[in-house]
Chain A
Amino acid sequence: MNALLSLIVVLVLGALAYAGGSVEGLRTLFGVIIPYAAILTFLAGVAYRVVRWALSPVPFRIPTTCGQQKTLPWIKAGYLESPYTALGVTLRMALEVLLFRSLFRNTKAELRSGPQLVYGENKYLWLAALAFHWSFLIIFLRHLRFFMQPVPAFVNLLSDADGFFQIGAPVLYLTDVFVLAALAYLLWRRFRDPQVRYISLFTDYFALFVLLGLTGTGVLMRYFFRPDIVAVKELALGLVTFTPAVPAQVGGLFFVHLFLLSLLIAYLPFSKLMHFAGVFLSPTRNLANNNRMKRHVNPWNYPVKVHTYAEWEEEFHDKIKAAGLPMEKE
């Protein structure tokens, strides 16, 4: 139900953009105003969310330790899994952000008769997540060719590497295949796995459908319905140089692509997709396990009502005395 509804919403929005691209009066709206508004929303929204997180203090140092703490010199400490230095924490975070270290641990528990619980390897989610995020990043960088003149050397290099196998004409980019395959897997997983289906919200499907729509239209335009690339670049350059204009030659599918991108980045600050920034702030990962070496200060630490030794001794005076234990007041 959630899935169907979000598919319909994305399709309707896509159709709207397609129509908008062919109505003269709306071309500026979809080609210029909405993209600008989306970028503004993205920048302001992301900044707001990150500042909001940052304003909440970290009262306690609570790393989840996934390895041996630093103790005695002859015991090998888990430099990455239980980092105790700033460099260790940085490397742990790098592994987390670049390679999804924690997701790599994923296993699948299975209950067999007996009862016998077995744990199997389960790396597909990790693989698909990695394939999606890295492909998406590379595709984003490849797109810089539309926004920069002259095209930077690294962008050309990246595109060449991506199309290394020289399959077909225009050359097939591997990341295009990976990104679609990964998104399809992530969507299929939400349908197929009963637990994941149970927890999936409208917004979970919505994000996937927008991404599928965005990458799907991109792939369609590159391999099947090629738009006027010169005109597209003209539009893109116009946007980044603040001299926006919508050339007459761009239309249809490209407008859907551009609109879904605008939708994605405008929606991002309001959604779970903020995890891209949030992961850096996660206190169970970005803090060193040096708790007993270095005191962590809680900015709002306040005095509490305690039961002092003096009160305790007074209450149990006779019993302490009878037991012959040492006392402050005999």
Chain B
Amino acid sequence: MKTNTLITILVITLLLLLSLVAALTIGAANLDVADVFASLFGLAGENSSLTHSIVWQLRMPRSILAFVAGGGLALAGLILQTVTRNPLADPYLFGISSGASFGVVVAMAVTGVTLTFYLSVAAFLGALLAIVLLLLIAGFSRNQQVESMLLAGVALSFLFSAFTSLLLYWSDPQAVTAILFWTLGSFARADWSSLWIPVSVVLVCLVFMLAQQRRLTALLLGDESAVTLGINVSQLRILMLLLSSLLTASIVALCGGIGFVGLMIPHIVRFFINQGHRWSYAVTALVGGIFMLWVDILSRIVLPNQELPIGIITAAIGSVFFLTLLYSRKNQSRI
């Protein structure tokens, strides 16, 4: 078991390094791997200033954001699936994403601002509003907390979508285009000055979640069994919901709507490392990050001279993944 763990971690670290180099090298301007390494380690000679600024000013912050967003969303998905014991839970099920979109639409439609920074703030506030409403509704019911959380999440999700559509209906076409583009997700807004927010939120949440990992695993046995293991179940669940929401909100605010990652990555990771394992949370976050690095690479090279929105790629991969899963299960059960 020990050696298996070591091999898994080694493979993932190698994959991460490889993916990062690929993310820095591949793109509209195809760079030479040697040049990328040269500018990474400050060994760049003359006429490499263009390479240097592409690597350091564009691709590095963007790749870090993609990695952090992927890791954060995967982790949030894993945590929400665990605390609700529902393998189909993900950050978007709880109205967080539609709350964020609502915030952006309100900001654009009411104040007319289109500056990235203000939109991010608006998205964050919208997501926060959704979380607060969810906690107000589900936090009080102690007995059927899971059921009320899922139902309230779905209800809020539709409510915010309805408001968003209503505002869009009244907005001018230009705003509609801008909002649509925002909701499809992109890492193009990444820059060094704003990167610290999602990075620090994801790191802080990761530490909190790792601290509670064993208690979270105990929740899988059912609320009552978890209580008999000395766990304050409703408090732990609300804390975890809050942390996953903060995680999602800070990512959504910068990157827009990116679905399916929180749902899909924990499922993939469960194939090769079981959830009771000490490293399973960290591995889920790392795999999510690596996956998102490659999605970002795809988004830059699929169409010539233009970027494909991230949300389209993740949704396409996600639906194919789940159909494959369904098909392979059907075949298995036939045997």
Q: Do A and B come from one complex?
A: no
B interface residues with partner A (beta carbon < 8 Å): none
